[in-house]
Structure 1
Amino acid sequence: MPWQRLRDLRAAMPNLMTQMLLRASNGVGYTNYPDNVVQFFVRQAAETGVDVFRVFDSLNWVENMRVAMDAVIDANKVCEGTICYTGDIFDPDRAKYDLKYYVQMGKDLKAAGAHVLGLKDMAGLLKPAQARVLIKALKSEVGLPIHFHTHDTAGIACATILAASEAGVDAVDCAMDALSGNTSQATLGSVVSALQHTDRDTGLSMQAIREISDYWEEVRGQYAAFETGMQAPSSEVYLHEMPGGQFTNLKAQAASLGLDDRWPEVARTYADVNQMFGDIVKVTPSSKVVGDMALMMVSQGLTRADVEDPGTDVAFPESVIDMMRGNLGQPPGGFPDTIVKKALKDEQPNLARPGKHLEPVDLEATRAELSKELEGKEIDDEDLAGYLMYPKVFLDYMGRHRQYGPVRTLPTQTFFYGMEPSEEISAEIDPGKTLEIRMQAASDTNEDGEVKVFFELNGQPRVIRVPNRLVKATTLQRPKAEVGNDNHIGAPMPGVVASVGAVVGQEVHAGDLLLTIEAMKMETGIHAERDAVVKAVHVQAGGQIDAKDLLVELE
């Protein structure tokens, strides 16, 4: 559990401050939560061990940040009110985000009670020359200590950090050498070395940095299967402006849709969607919305002109409709009326702070319901806070924990790749309770797709039957949608069926939502493309699917 990791970190480094990102009214999730949920989560995070809260809003709307900022201040913790940087302060065509805009937002955050001013360059767009001007202006006009965060997607982050240092920035984010570069942060050792013997010498030990980096280089090797394959920096980021955390993720999503060879088109469409939405700040969760729209447009062959054409019917992704409703708040100047009207049709958007209209959650009633669902398990505040942010993820975790035990105690290599014959590991499942596990052998797979695993547990021989997932993956296949068959609705990507609205025999109309698919933080709605009657539904909520699997058949 993340709460336990936080406690472990706090115990291991009692003299260092911990910091977390807080997406204001989005908490650590992807939607707006009622005010009392945000307040409860902040209070719990502060109690468990977070010292500094970097509070930001995905559309730079200070009004949407106040509840979260007040909660941090009430918890007697450091509130870092944060500006998200986008555009280019030197570009006359992007005058919406000029120097005056950022200075005014800094002043607004100071007035809202921020102790520190965060400058969050989530896409790595801030260039050295611009950094000198922006940092200097914020230092002189706002007067708060400035904490600068950037990504190295374009390969220029170290230069930008050094320029920010010259301009008087107070703190910067870097990544340990072995984990730095590309869509990560600037290289810590390089920045520290560049500042040695200057008036901004960090005083950090290069020997210690190298020792720590060597450790993380070994750890990173165990996660080789999860590497993105990004080989070099990409100046393309100045075109699409994707946050570092989304860039590689969206590439994987595009590949799952069969669009990997059309990535330049995806990148250009992402930039087009941003302008179509009114040139907005793109950071979780607003960046996800732009990505959802871009993938939908490329996969369906739609251009920006098609989407903006009143005569072209477009089935917008659910996340786009939700944002146009005002459920993420409002960007500077609002969203373009044409897109709002086309996405919402006759529905009116909410222009006020989203949390203002959300009913408070009855925390104790929710705690009791959750305890009942988990068969009487005592639900402490940490459990409740986790559930409130991620209900489905929390329940999935608890179900897996009940079935498999505390698998977090397994060595990383074993967790990801399993054990080889004669291999032995130790796993401390509770304080003072350690399991010594020795793998002996595994049988061939039987006709049910299972193998016998022979092992020793604390010296005692054991045998267990487990499914061979490789075999199951080849034997359990769903029917595929027939290419060219208008009655077959197939999956556009691998993922999990989040919800199913279609019912056999139901009359549906063009644009009606049939089901939703969840994949890599992206929720995609599958809509009827014509009026029809549902003949068959081949999936159910929670089911795992692959690309082109048959989901729904129409008459």
Structure 2
Amino acid sequence: MAKVKFMETALRDAHQSLIATRMTTEEMLPIAEKLDKVGYYALEVWGGATFDSCLRFLNEDPWERLRELRKVFKNTKLQMLLRGQNILGYKHYPDDVVEEFVKKAIENGIDIVRIFDALNDLRNLETSIKAVKKYGGHAQGAISYTVSPVHNNKYYVNLARDMVQMGVDSICIKDMSGILLPYVAYDLVKDLKVAVEVPIEVHSHFTSGIANLSYLKAIEAGADIIDTAISPLGNGTSQPATEPMIAALEGTEYYPDIDFDLLLEVSEYFKGLRDKYMKAGLLDPKVLNVDVNTLKYQVPGGMLSNLVSQLKAQGKEELYDEVLKEIPKVREELGFPPLVTPMSQMVGTTALFNVITGERYKMVPTETKNYVKGLYGRPPKPISDEIRKKIIGDDEVFEGRPADMLEPQLDNYRNEIREYIEQDEDVLSYALFPQVAIPFFKQRLAAKYKIETDLLDQENQTHPV
């Protein structure tokens, strides 16, 4: 048995889970040097919703954030989360965009790319895995963990074997809802350790209150790495807190090579930040509670808060319990997709429409229709003809790899924003989030030339860059 390694999520998933990804680069840099010396295996600093949030809410260049962090982190690997063919967006992108994105992420400082697909459709991971290997990164294949009649240990072991065949360097059990039970975790890790020879990492959320127990059983079964969050940003809908997990291993062979005193200094820093977020109203105390409904409905914490805000907007908050009960029904009828982005949004919104309209599948989001048409990949279980007809009528279902339908787009994107380009990476920012990238580019130009952004809109003029 080896010492367990820790991957710290404070700079990505922890603040994404608790404060809607609002931590700024300016708040990260003062503690970066200490974080680098603690002894973590890796730090998750990028990907997920951080890219969108930087541009949309923080007026930051996500690429610049990555470069700034890379300068400081000399000892620790930097990790990101990639949604396979969706990159960091909510739809499929052409292969040329995926490859260029991976190339630039690695060039700018990423060591480990965790790649997942919401449906566990491995065809949606092919391009990303090849690109990570091509440009010298560590490709981690992530299993989107869920529970259903079609998802069991045998299913996950086969997935892991196929991922290793595709060239991944490690496997992550990605439990986004916090529903991986302790003894199930033990058995699954045991089975994976027999089936594949690459390291096994376990990622969970504390939403249902059991993830730390599942981590302990996973470690006993041979898990190599666990994902935790420094305690001021831990627990709740975030990951289990780092310090208690380390303390729980004291006196065992699993105890990590981590400077615990330095870790306490890191914790003090983040306590100050947490207090600031509380005062600003960014951190809702509700997200720190244990929600046992998660075990019944398998709904991730972020999805629950989205449902509440959607119902509030409609003035239908009293329908919350009804929508919650509708979610598992919709999920079953849509072939038991794991409830992770973008499938969680599709299932949740479809269930919401079913309840609000009073007629099931009378009103269906476009994304759900596209999913049923096969444009996101293969459902874990085939969708019945009855449900398919209700949702898309007689429209054809595409059986191939969804990205095969997409033409290369990188050159088109480059031409569309040529007057704004200051770095190659700008093309990728625009490709992923055109509606927020353009205002960001305009502000950047305005600051550079000390002019008002509305003048750029009025004159539509080109500036030398």
**TM-score normalised by L of structure 1:** 0.67
Q: Determine if contact 1:79/1:116 at 8 Å carries over to the other structure.
A: yes
Task: Map 1:299-338 to 2 at 5 A.
Answer: 299-302=356-359, 306-307=360-361, 314-338=362-386
> Which of 388, 399, 406 is the aligned partner of 1:358?
406
Q: Determine if contact 1:31/1:327 at 8 Å carries over to the other structure.
A: no
CA shift digits 1:298-345 (9 cap, x unpaired): 22234xxx44xxxxxx12111211211212111223333222222211
Would you say 1:259 and 2:307 are equivalent positions? no
Question: How much does 1:95 deviate?
Answer: 3.4
Would you say 1:155 and 2:209 are equivalent positions? yes
The amino acid of 2:347's aligned partner reads V
User: Within 1, Cα distance between the matches of 2:282 and 2:259?
Assistant: 31
> Which of 233, 237, 242 is the aligned partner of 2:299?
242
Q: Determine if contact 2:421/2:427 at 8 Å carries over to the other structure.
A: no
User: Which protein has the bigger helix share?
Assistant: 2
> Which of 78, 81, 102 is the aligned partner of 1:42?
102
Question: How much does 1:402 deviate?
Answer: 4.7
User: Within 2, Cα distance between the matches of 1:95 and 1:318?
Assistant: 27
SS at 2:267 equivalent: helix
Q: Could you tell me which residue of structure 2 aligns to residue 440 of structure 1?
A: none
Would you say 1:383 and 2:437 are equivalent positions? no
Q: Determine if contact 2:143/2:174 at 8 Å carries over to the other structure.
A: yes
SS at 1:226 equivalent: coil
CA shift digits 1:52-84 (9 cap, x unpaired): 010111100112211111111111100001111
User: Within 2, Cα distance between the matches of 1:261 and 1:189?
Assistant: 39
Q: Could you tell me which residue of structure 1 aligns to residue 149 of structure 2?
A: 95
> Which of 193, 217, 223 is the aligned partner of 2:247?
193
CA shift digits 1:155-209 (9 cap, x unpaired): 1111110111101100010011000111110010110000011110013233222
Q: Could you tell me which residue of structure 1 aligns to residue 26 of structure 2?
A: none
The amino acid of 1:72's aligned partner reads V
User: Within 2, Cα distance between the matches of 1:41 and 1:72?
Assistant: 10
Q: Could you tell me which residue of structure 2 aligns to residue 425 of structure 1?
A: none
CA shift digits 1:239-283 (9 cap, x unpaired): 221234433333333333323343222211112211121212121
- Greater relative contact order (Cα < 8 A, sep 6+): 2
> Number of residue pairs matched?
387
Q: Determine if contact 1:59/1:281 at 8 Å carries over to the other structure.
A: yes
Q: Could you tell me which residue of structure 1 aligns to residue 416 of structure 2?
A: 369
Q: Could you tell me which residue of structure 2 aligns to residue 349 of structure 1?
A: 397
The amino acid of 2:431's aligned partner reads L
Question: How much does 1:401 deviate?
Answer: 4.0
Task: Map 1:134-213 to 2 at 5 A.
Answer: 134-213=188-267
Change (3 A) 1:298 1:397: farther
Would you say 1:70 and 2:124 are equivalent positions? no
Q: Could you tell me which residue of structure 2 aligns to residue 545 of structure 1?
A: none
> Which of 133, 146, 162 is the aligned partner of 1:86?
146
User: Within 2, Cα distance between the matches of 1:84 and 1:242?
Assistant: 13
SS at 1:273 equivalent: helix
Change (3 A) 1:171 1:21: same
Question: How much does 1:100 deviate?
Answer: 0.9
User: Within 2, Cα distance between the matches of 1:11 and 1:250?
Assistant: 40
> Which of 422, 442, 446 is the aligned partner of 1:399?
442
Q: Could you tell me which residue of structure 2 aligns to residue 276 of structure 1?
A: 333
Q: Determine if contact 1:59/1:282 at 8 Å carries over to the other structure.
A: no
User: Within 2, Cα distance between the matches of 1:159 and 1:85?
Assistant: 17
Question: How much does 1:400 deviate?
Answer: 4.1
Change (3 A) 1:262 1:207: farther
Bigger radius of gyration, 1 or 2? 1
Question: How much does 1:365 deviate?
Answer: 4.0
**TM-score normalised by L of structure 2:** 0.80
User: Within 2, Cα distance between the matches of 1:40 and 1:8?
Assistant: 21
SS at 1:103 equivalent: helix
SS at 1:255 equivalent: helix
SS at 2:352 equivalent: helix
SS at 1:96 equivalent: coil
Q: Determine if contact 2:335/2:380 at 8 Å carries over to the other structure.
A: no
User: Within 2, Cα distance between the matches of 1:36 and 1:280?
Assistant: 27
User: Within 2, Cα distance between the matches of 1:348 and 1:28?
Assistant: 28
SS at 1:132 equivalent: helix
User: Within 2, Cα distance between the matches of 1:250 and 1:401?
Assistant: 35
SS at 2:150 equivalent: helix
Q: Determine if contact 1:124/1:244 at 8 Å carries over to the other structure.
A: no
Indicate the RMSD between aligned Cα atoms, in angstroms.
1.9
The amino acid of 2:293's aligned partner reads E
Change (3 A) 1:4 1:96: same
Which deviates the most, 140-149 or 390-399?
Answer: 390-399
SS at 1:9 equivalent: helix
User: Within 2, Cα distance between the matches of 1:319 and 1:56?
Assistant: 19
User: Within 2, Cα distance between the matches of 1:291 and 1:81?
Assistant: 26
User: Within 2, Cα distance between the matches of 1:339 and 1:50?
Assistant: 42
Aligned-pair identity in percent equals 34
User: Within 2, Cα distance between the matches of 1:349 and 1:64?
Assistant: 17
Would you say 1:13 and 2:73 are equivalent positions? yes
User: Within 2, Cα distance between the matches of 1:220 and 1:400?
Assistant: 29
Q: Determine if contact 1:80/1:118 at 8 Å carries over to the other structure.
A: yes
The amino acid of 2:423's aligned partner reads D
CA shift digits 1:340-380 (9 cap, x unpaired): 2222112102111110111111x334313212xxxx33342
Q: Determine if contact 2:334/2:372 at 8 Å carries over to the other structure.
A: no
Change (3 A) 1:256 1:212: farther
SS at 1:348 equivalent: coil
User: Which protein has the bigger strand share?
Assistant: 1
The amino acid of 1:119's aligned partner reads I
Would you say 1:226 and 2:282 are equivalent positions? yes
Long gaps (5+) in structure 2:
1-60, 450-465
Question: How much does 1:218 deviate?
Answer: 1.2
Change (3 A) 1:115 1:214: same
Q: Determine if contact 1:239/1:267 at 8 Å carries over to the other structure.
A: no
SS at 1:119 equivalent: strand
User: Within 2, Cα distance between the matches of 1:396 and 1:206?
Assistant: 44
Q: Could you tell me which residue of structure 1 aligns to residue 28 of structure 2?
A: none
Long gaps (5+) in structure 1:
88-93, 308-313, 407-428, 430-555
